[in-house]
Amino acid sequence: MKIYEIKKSKFISYLLDINNKEEAKNILDSLWAEHKKARHIVYAYICQDNDGNKINGFSDDREPKGVAGLPIYLYLEKKNLINKGIFIVRYFGGIKLGKSGLLRAYLNSAKLLFDEKK
């Protein structure tokens, strides 16, 4: 888990093992139960079944289309991660970030999961 803050909004990111779509749903439900006051929980995951078929999914969770789920999914692909998911919980701080600000914030949150310095 890593925390990234910008303009009073808090982004809490998680990198988790996922083996199927049902696990992703269960993780999402669990995060909502843990973060009842969060405004958004966006995610992306890539997994592979026993036959080698790729199963994936992503969601912007009511954020503007294309600023969260898809960029995180593309980041997972770039890192060649299989059976992994990135979930990012957002607590809105009252200051709008705009589409480009949101995109940067979500990508920075995902990248923090791989930053050894923090």
Tokens of 11: 């982004």
Checking if the pLDDT of 118 tops 70, the result is no
Question: pLDDT tens digits, residue range 33-84?
Answer: 999 999 999 999 999 988 889 999 999 999 999 999 999 999 999 999 999 9
DSSP H/E element including 5: strand 2-6
pTM of the model: 0.93
Q: Give Cβ neighbours of residue 112 (< 8 Å, ≥ 6 apart).
A: 2, 4, 13, 118
Walk me through the domains of the chain, giving residue ranges and CATH numbers: 2-113 (3.30.230.30)
The Cα 108–Cα 10 span in angstroms is 12
